[in-house]
A and B are shown apart, each in its own frame.
Chain A
Amino acid sequence: GEDVEQSLFLSVREGDSSVINCTYTDSSSTYLYWYKQEPGAGLQLLTYIFSNMDMKQDQRLTVLLNKKDKHLSLRIADTQTGDSAIYFCAESSDYKLSFGAGTTVTVRA
Chain B
Amino acid sequence: SAVISQKPSRDICQRGTSLTIQCQVDSQVTMMFWYRQQPGQSLTLIATANQGSEATYESGFVIDKFPISRPNLTFSTLTVSNMSPEDSSIYLCSASKAEGYTFGSGTRLTVV
Contact = CB atoms under 8 A, between A and B. Distances in A.
Interface of A: 31, 33, 35, 40-45, 48, 88, 90, 92, 95-102
14 contacts: A31-B100, A41-B105, A41-B106, A42-B104, A42-B106, A43-B43, A45-B100, A45-B103, A90-B101, A95-B31, A96-B48, A97-B101, A99-B42, A101-B42
Given A42-B92, A45-B101, A96 B33 contact: yes
Contacts of A48: 100
Contacts of B102: 45
Interface of B: 1, 6, 31, 33, 41-43, 45, 48, 92, 94, 96, 100-106, 108
A33 B42 contact: no
SS class, residues of chain A in contact with chain B: strand
A102 B42 contact: yes
